[in-house]
């Protein structure tokens, strides 16, 4: 489904490319041995290299390289055997060396893609231009002193993967789906935790608009948006702003803009960005990064199953519809939970329980699926108990709640609470007889043609059975008895 902005003068299409910075999961920084834990006390994770002291030299941390390679495989991309680090030169107080070590024309990864699922069930392929490794900068704190700014270099030198998409994204929804998919992939791989709220995944969006079929328009870059929802809002706002500007005879200027999440607007940040010349050149302190074929092969072999493959497998092995499979594989932990719960049980029903009651419960409790009070084994067992008629689907809801509260196995709960379904005909008939005997007027009304009262009788008898009567049997017997 194409996303079109209906302007006053006609239709507009939006064109978006995303640059995502992913903080690499690694014990040490990209070029120094300093630690990388989030939230440590300011300036406690800084080596002399990170602080740009005289005579200090960078040495590549190979774990960061391996993470980039793994991610490259996850993006269906080319792993470049040779890549080169370059210096991006600029002055700022959070950049101790006066340059950031990055990669320019020789990135470690290039030419990949990811497929994203959209709500209407369609799939879009978004191209990845490149992934390169670079250093993060430090952090300035302006709120610690009335006249001074403080610098925290804990983050300075931490490895980032900058993942640059092609301008293939055509709607805010696609941008959101792309980011969710990317986050899912890096989380599966374990190369980035994908937590946008902690800043370990950050997104810049390049947005432009054009008449359908025409060449790309001038783009604006929205910097550092820190949630998927905000990225989508920012794109939507920015595209509308550009359309209004163009339709009123204005021109879009190439500039850096900032998203104000409170007002939901983008604002011009700095025009000097365009005048900036970063004087890139290959870092003479480092030699070209040449990958070892064997290691690359080994990393490929050791790649975990990624969301797309898992989704396909869930559909084939468990007979799940695409939507369900997509939901279940989005998070690695959910997929793992599902696989455990579904093993040897009714997978479709297990999937429904996970996406329904379990998700709702976890949401309510604010817990992750790895912290679920209901173990996957118990959920599977419960589905079996529904299927073999031990409990009804209705009772199962209660059983599930007891499982959430008590963490016990479903059979134990059914046993303890006496929730076993009643399938004994005479027992059900006895209840029906009692209800009919207590309500002769209603029986008379029913028999006089008020068919709708059947619902009332079902409710009464079910209540009298404490919900344990087999609903099918109850219905059948009730009709027979009421008919006289």
Nearest to 310 by CA among 289, 339, 286, 282: 339
Cβ 100 to another protein shortest distance, Å:
11
Cβ 291 to another protein shortest distance, Å:
15
| Residue placing its CB nearer to another protein in the complex, 144 or 387 | 144
| Residue placing its CB nearer to another protein in the complex, 1 or 287 | 287
Among 76, 78, 89, 423, binds another protein (CB under 8 A): 89
- Cross-strand partners of 33: none
380 vs 195: CA distance, rounded Å: 31
| Residue placing its CB nearer to another protein in the complex, 52 or 471 | 52
Q: How many of the chain's residues bind another protein (CB under 8 A)?
A: 31
Cβ 150 to another protein shortest distance, Å:
11
Q: Among the candidate windows 93-101, 261-269, 369-377, 464-472, which touches another protein by CB under 8 A? A: 93-101
Site for another protein in 26-65 (CB under 8 A): 48, 51-60
Cβ 252 to another protein shortest distance, Å:
23
Cβ 52 to another protein shortest distance, Å:
4
| Residue placing its CB nearer to another protein in the complex, 60 or 454 | 60
| Residue placing its CB nearer to another protein in the complex, 284 or 366 | 284
| String of contacts with another protein for each residue 225-264, x by CB under 8 A | ----------------------------------------
Cβ 117 to another protein shortest distance, Å:
41
| Residue placing its CB nearer to another protein in the complex, 151 or 432 | 151
Q: Is position 404 an interface residue for another protein (rule: CB under 8 A)?
A: no
Among 280, 381, 397, 473, binds another protein (CB under 8 A): 280
Among 18, 30, 151, 299, binds another protein (CB under 8 A): 151
Cβ 27 to another protein shortest distance, Å:
17
Site for another protein in 281-310 (CB under 8 A): 281, 283-287
Q: Is position 349 an interface residue for another protein (rule: CB under 8 A)?
A: no
Q: Which two tokens stand for residue 228?
A: 């998927």
Binding site for another protein (CB under 8 A): 48, 51-60, 87, 89, 91-93, 96-99, 149, 151, 277, 279-281, 283-287
């Amino acid at each position: 489904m194409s996303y079109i902005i209906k302007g006053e003068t006609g239709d507009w299409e939006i064109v978006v490319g995303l640059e995502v910075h992913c903080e690499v999961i690694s014990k040490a920084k990209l070029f120094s041995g300093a630690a990388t834990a989030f939230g440590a006390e300011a300036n406690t994770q800084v080596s002399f290299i990170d602080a740009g002291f005289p005579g200090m030299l960078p040495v590549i941390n190979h774990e960061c390289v391996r993470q980039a390679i793994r991610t490259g495989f996850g993006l269906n991309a080319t792993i470049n055997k040779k890549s080169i680090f370059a210096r991006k030169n600029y002055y700022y107080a959070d950049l101790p060396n006066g340059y950031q070590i990055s990669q320019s024309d020789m990135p470690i990864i290039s030419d990949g893609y990811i497929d994203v699922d959209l709500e209407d069930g369609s799939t879009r392929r978004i191209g990845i231009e490149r992934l390169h490794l670079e250093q993060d900068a430090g952090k300035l704190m302006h709120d610690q002193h009335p006249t001074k700014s403080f610098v925290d270099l804990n983050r300075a030198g931490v490895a980032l993967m900058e993942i640059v998409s092609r301008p293939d994204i055509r709607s805010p929804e696609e941008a959101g789906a792309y980011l969710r998919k990317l986050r899912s992939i890096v989380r599966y791989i374990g190369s980035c935790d994908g937590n946008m709220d902690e800043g370990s995944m950050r997104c810049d969006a390049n947005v432009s608009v054009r008449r359908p079929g025409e060449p790309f328009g001038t783009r604006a870059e929205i910097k550092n948006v820190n949630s998927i929802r905000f990225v989508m809002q920012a794109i939507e706002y920015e595209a509308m702003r550009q359309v209004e500007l163009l339709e009123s005879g204005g021109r879009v200027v190439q500039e850096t803009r900032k998203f104000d999440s409170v007002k939901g607007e983008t604002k011009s940040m700095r025009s000097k960005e365009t005048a900036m010349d970063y004087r890139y050149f290959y870092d003479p302190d480092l030699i070209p990064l040449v990958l070892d074929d064997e290691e690359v092969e080994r990393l490929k072999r050791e790649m975990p199953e990624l969301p797309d493959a898992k989704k396909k497998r869930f559909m084939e092995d468990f007979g799940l519809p695409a939507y369900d499979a997509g939901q279940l594989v989005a998070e690695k932990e959910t997929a793992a939970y599902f696989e455990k719960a579904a093993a040897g049980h009714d997978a479709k029903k297990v999937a429904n329980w996970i996406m329904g009651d379990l998700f709702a419960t976890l949401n309510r409790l604010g817990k992750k699926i790895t912290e679920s009070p209901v173990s996957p084994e118990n959920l599977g067992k419960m589905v079996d108990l529904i299927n073999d008629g031990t409990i009804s689907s209705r009772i199962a809801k209660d059983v599930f709640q007891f499982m959430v509260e008590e963490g016990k196995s479903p059979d134990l709960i059914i046993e303890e609470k006496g929730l076993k379904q009643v399938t004994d005909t005479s027992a059900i008939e006895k209840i029906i007889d009692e209800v009919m005997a207590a309500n002769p007027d209603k029986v008379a009304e029913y028999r006089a043609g008020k068919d709708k009262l059947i619902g009332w009788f079902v409710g009464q008898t079910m209540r009298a059975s404490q919900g344990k009567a087999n609903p099918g049997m109850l219905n059948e017997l009730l009709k027979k008895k009421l008919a006289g």
